Structure formats: structure tokens, C-alpha cells
Amino acid sequence: MRTNPNIVITGTPGVGKTSHSTLLASSTGLKHLSINQIVKERGCHEGWSDEYQSWIVDEDKLLDEIEDEVKHGGCIIDWHACDLFPKSWVDLVVVLRTDSTILYDRLLERGYKEEKLQENLDSEIMQVLLEEARESYDEEIVVELRSDTTEDIEGNVERMERWVESWKEEISGYNG
Ligand SMILES: Nc1ncnc2c1ncn2[C@@H]1O[C@H](COP(=O)(O)OP(=O)(O)OP(=O)(O)O)[C@@H](O)[C@H]1O
């Protein structure tokens, strides 16, 4: 049984997954698994898609790559998808949400082209990731958090820190 929880932080590109994961990792000692980085660095892909301007992810290879680490516990899994991670791996799913005008500015600043920008905005407005999370995991472990401002990041990270502490207390009580 894990003695540290695994948390998935998901949401549309630009909502703040990396910002939240980095802060949470440094305050809790949990390990930040940036799936974007792992896909690229460990070659968990079938090449580059010019159309989507991203790697075509080989999900089986990715899961094989991270399985031992994640099963051990204590990972913050940061990615813009969540339904591929087995339920048994995951203790909490945080779906970050951002106001569409704020997200538009963030993606524009990143140099996203109009089509990709619009696609991501539509996805945020249609709450695609929230639905994906709700369909893939038990509803009590899925939490939707707002990420419009830096104060939101601070508040969300504090909330997740408290959650980690109480998860650990519960587990240590359970283990006697
Ligand atoms: N709540 C927030 N308040 C202010 N700025 C934010 C907030 N969240 C993210 N940002 C800013 O938006 C940009 C994108 O953030 P970040 O890289 O954390 O998003 P992401 O969800 O990890 O994106 P990707 O899926 O592409 O990796 C960064 O410049 C970050 O500083």
C-alpha cells in the first residue's frame, strides 16, 4: 500500500498545471511528473505531428515508463489528459479551470496560432477535461479548482497540501 498519495493535476493547456505542480512538489516533497517532458525525453511517442504541433503519444509505452514510480506513490502527474491513468494509481484528480478571456491571453502570449488557440479555448469552455475526469474516476476524488490569478495558485496549493497531510494521517492510522 502507498504511504504517499498520487495526485493527477489536469486541465486545458495554459490553465496552470506546471505552476501548481512545481509549487506543490516543493512544499510537500512529492515528485512532479511532467508527462510532456517524459514523453519527449523518454521517447514515449510515435513521432511529431505538424498538424497538432505536439508529439503523438504512445500511451502503452508511457504507462510502462512511469508504472513503477507511480505505483510506489508520491507522484504529481501533470498532463492535459487523465483518462489513461488506471484508477488504482490515483488518489486525487485536480482539474484546473480558467476563465476563457484570461486563458486566451495566456495562450496568445505563448505564441499559439489562431486555430490551436481556438481549439483549446473551446475545450476549456466545453469543460472537456472536467468531463473526462468525472467519467474516468470516482466522483469523490475529482476536484475542480479555479486558476485565474496567482492568489488562486497559492490557495489551491495550500488546499492540496492540507489534503496530502490528511491523506497521510488517515493511511498511517489505517496501518496502525
Ligand atoms: N492562476 C494563474 N494566475 C496567473 N498566471 C498563471 C496562472 N496559472 C498559470 N499562469 C501562467 O500561465 C502560463 C501557463 O502556465 P503553466 O505552464 O503552469 O500551464 P500548464 O497548464 O502547465 O500548460 P501546459 O499544459 O501547456 O503545460 C504561465 O506563464 C503561468 O505563469
13 lines ligand 1 (CB under 6 A): yes
State in Å: Cα 16 to ligand 1 middle: 3
- Helix, strand, coil share of the chain (percent; to 5): 55, 20, 30
123 lines ligand 1 (CB under 6 A): no
pLDDT, mean over the chain:
96
- pLDDT tens digits, one per residue of 96-148: 999 999 999 999 999 999 999 999 999 999 999 999 999 999 999 999 999 99
In order of their start, the domains of the chain are 7-30+74-170 (3.40.50.300)
Query: Against a cut of 0.95, is the pTM above it?
Result: yes
ipTM over 0.90: yes
Residues 143-171: what's their mean pLDDT? 97
Q: Is residue 146 marked as binding? A: no
∠ CA 23-76-153, nearest 5°, is: 35
Q: Is residue 14 marked as binding? A: yes
Q: Is residue 16 marked as binding? A: yes
State in Å: Cα 129 to ligand 1 middle: 16
Q: What is the pLDDT of residue 53?
A: 81
Contacts of 8 (CB under 8 A, 6+ apart): 77, 79, 82, 85, 90, 92, 93, 94, 133
Nearest CA, atom 8, ligand 1? 16
Query: Which phi and psi (to 5°) does residue 80 adopt?
Result: -85, 20
State in Å: Cα 106 to ligand 1 middle: 7
Confidence label for 54 from pLDDT (cuts 50, 70 and 90) = confident
- Tell me how far apart the alpha carbons of residues 149 and 140 are, in angstroms, rounded to a whole number: 26
Asked whether 124 and 97 are in contact (CB, 8 A), the reply is: yes
Q: What is the pLDDT of residue 50?
A: 87
State in Å: Cα 164 to ligand 1 middle: 22
